[in-house]
Amino acid sequence: MPRYPLALLCLLLTAPLLAEPLWVSEPNYNSALNGASSCISQTQAPTPALAEQMAATYARRELMQSLETTLNASFEQMVTATGKVASAEVKRAVKDHIHIQTQGVLRGSRIAEKWYDSRNQQVCVWVVIEQNRYQALNTLPTNLNL
């Protein structure tokens, strides 16, 4: 057996996989996780570890904005379905509640996957939260007078 195919096989078996996970920027009800990904160019950070931290921060911000948008839309749909008009004060209270709750949930987020995009020289991460933590966000304050 020639050495070349064996060496190639060994290289392929030991090379890190650089497959990018699916981009999930909104709740995924078919999965146990919700998440968002972000990549940072190595030139933007002095070390790969700092680039990873920056990418995680941006991914968490993206995930937070996505969750808040989804929850605000759910609230608007609920108001429309009830046929009642929510005052600006109630809308602001709900928006604040959603923001605070989302921040709390994101504290429990974790980096599920990290990879290096050698073509673009970027450090990338995929940050996720558990689906059950997301579902806990779907509770609105009970003292709203709709």
Residue (of 142, 138, 132, 25) closest to 71 by Cα position = 138
Whole-number Å distance between alpha carbons of 93 and 87: 10
pLDDT (average), residues 26-37:
57
What is the pLDDT at residue 28? 43
The per-residue pLDDT for range 36-71, each reduced to its tens digit, is: 889 999 899 888 899 999 999 999 988 888 888 888
pLDDT of amino acid 21 = 38
Total-model pTM? 0.65
Is 127 in a helix, a strand, or coil? strand
- Convert the pLDDT of each residue in 82-135 to its tens digit: 777 777 887 888 888 888 888 887 887 888 888 888 888 899 998 888 766 766
Distance CA(140)–CA(131), nearest Å, equals 17
How much is the pLDDT for 140?
54
Give CA angle at 87 (82, 93), nearest 5°. 100
Alpha helices in the chain (DSSP H): 3-14, 48-82, 88-106, 131-136
Which residue would you say has higher pLDDT here, 140 or 47? 47
pLDDT of residue 8: 42
